[in-house]
Amino acid sequence: MTIDLMDAQGLSEAHAAMRETARRFAAAEIAPVAAELDESEAYPGEFYARLAAAGLFGITVPEALGGAGADALAYALVMEELSRGYASVADQVGLVELLGTLLTQYGSPAQQERYLRPLLKAERRCAYALTEAEAGSDLGSLRTAARRDGEGWVLSGAKLWIHNAPVADFAAVLARTDPAAGHRGMSVFLVDLDSPGVTRGRKEHKMGQRASPVGGLAFDEVRLPRDALLGPEGRGFHMMMSVLDKGRVGIAALALGILMAALEDSIAYARQRVQFGKPIAEFQAVQWMIADMAKDVQATRLMIMEAARLLDGGGRATLAASMAKCFAADAAVARTADAVQIHGGSGYIRGVRVERLYRDAKITQIYEGTNQIQRMIMARTLLA
């Protein structure tokens, strides 16, 4: 069953075509193996080569740099559809978009050649490394540092819970380059993860989105060439934050994909499960959970479209992107819990999709800025 809320809004032909490509790929290729990937925690590298070939990697990166040259709305549509198949796969597309945007905006032609093009062909894998043991929401407490050494740099420190750390070829690493300058004393480095002095921590076992590997990265006096510095020295914090508006629209769309899958399964199950001589869909208590789910799908989609419209128009999207991410993530967690409830005991059993959706949804309230941090951003914008 396909539920298409908002189709009346009308998408351009190009947007509809991109959504259709992602939808077909998700339904035919991703969804059938999602439970298996959740169980095995395997990294489905073959999907990414095919997504890259289908033009679904680097969606907003200009064509001249190897991307699809599309806009933020296209990115959101693709993220939703892929996530409806399996959030872990969308998650990887979101990570590539984040790095792709960073390299497009700040990379030198040589850095784009070395990192961006192979990334968009799925020949090299990336990581985006900010978080540390003492620096989660509070990135001002960052300890990883790089000091100048002749022509180049020496990097030391440790990152944790970094997407792709177990499999990435390179990472964009946020490090302190001027300890006295606070947020203005941080810079971004492109680090090849086979460099001497780099070690990878163990792969973590996660609650959900288990096919996106997460782990630590440690840097022990890692020597970096001068051109490992991405963008201007001292602008790293600003650069990493500047790509997060689009990133948060992507996470909102990923959460929306999870919501859509929960809604589809809840409707199907409520129609076929009979208790007290009738389908449970005839009980008002169940109907209202389904109605609330659809209401949140619709509201989430409108918020995402608005944030994407602002991004595509070049306006300030921070408030809209934080609102969309926060709303979508809260809705995904609450409504997947309802979906489990509608499924009764079967919703608690491994292999039944809503059980996985519930687990997959939770991290959307935590990564790319927790939902408490999103509320802080909203309040700061409103009260400025």
Q: Which is nearer to ligand FAD, 130 or 352 (CB)?
A: 130
CB of 199 to ligand FAD, least distance (A): 17
Pinpoint the alpha helices (H) of the chain: 13-25, 31-40, 45-53, 72-85, 87-106, 109-111, 117-120, 236-242, 244-272, 284-312, 318-342, 353-362, 371-383
CB of 298 to ligand FAD, least distance (A): 27
Site map (CB under 6 A) of ligand FAD, residues 194-233, x = contact: ------------x-------x-------------------
- Tell me which stretch binds ligand FAD (CB under 6 A): 34-42, 114-122, 284-292, 368-376: 368-376
Active site residue 306: no
Q: Is 363 in the site for ligand FAD (CB under 6 A)?
A: yes
Strand partners, 174: 188
Binding-site size for ligand FAD (CB under 6 A) equals 18
Cα–Cα distance, 230 to 287 (Å, whole number): 52
Q: Is 237 in the site for ligand FAD (CB under 6 A)?
A: no
Cα–Cα distance, 381 to 82 (Å, whole number): 32
User: What residues contact residue 203 under an 8 Å CB cut-off, 6+ apart?
Assistant: 41, 165, 166, 213, 214, 215
One-letter identity of residue 83? S
Q: Which position among 123, 372, 379, 380 is part of the footprint of ligand FAD (CB under 6 A)?
A: 372
Q: Which is nearer to ligand FAD, 173 or 297 (CB)?
A: 173
- Tell me which stretch binds ligand FAD (CB under 6 A): 40-48, 283-291, 353-361, 366-374: 366-374
Q: Is 92 in the site for ligand FAD (CB under 6 A)?
A: no
Q: Is 130 in the site for ligand FAD (CB under 6 A)?
A: yes
Q: Which is nearer to ligand FAD, 70 or 255 (CB)?
A: 255
Write the DSSP string, 253-292: HHHHHHHHHHHHHHHHHHHH-EETTEEGGGSHHHHHHHHH
CB-based closest residue to ligand FAD: 136
Closest C-alpha among 360, 282, 309 to residue 11: 309
CB burial string 115-151: b at 16+ within 10 A, e below: bbbbbbebebbbbbbbbbeebeeebeebebbbeeeee
- Tell me which stretch binds ligand FAD (CB under 6 A): 126-134, 220-228, 267-275, 311-319: 126-134
One-letter identity of residue 260? M
Contact set for ligand FAD, span 149-188 (CB under 6 A): 161-163
CB of 72 to ligand FAD, least distance (A): 20
Query: Tokens in use for 135?
Result: 């620096």
Which listed residue (80, 97, 355, 368) is catalytic? 368
Q: Which residues bind ligand FAD (CB under 6 A)?
A: 128-131, 136-137, 161-163, 206, 214, 363, 366-367, 370, 372-373, 376
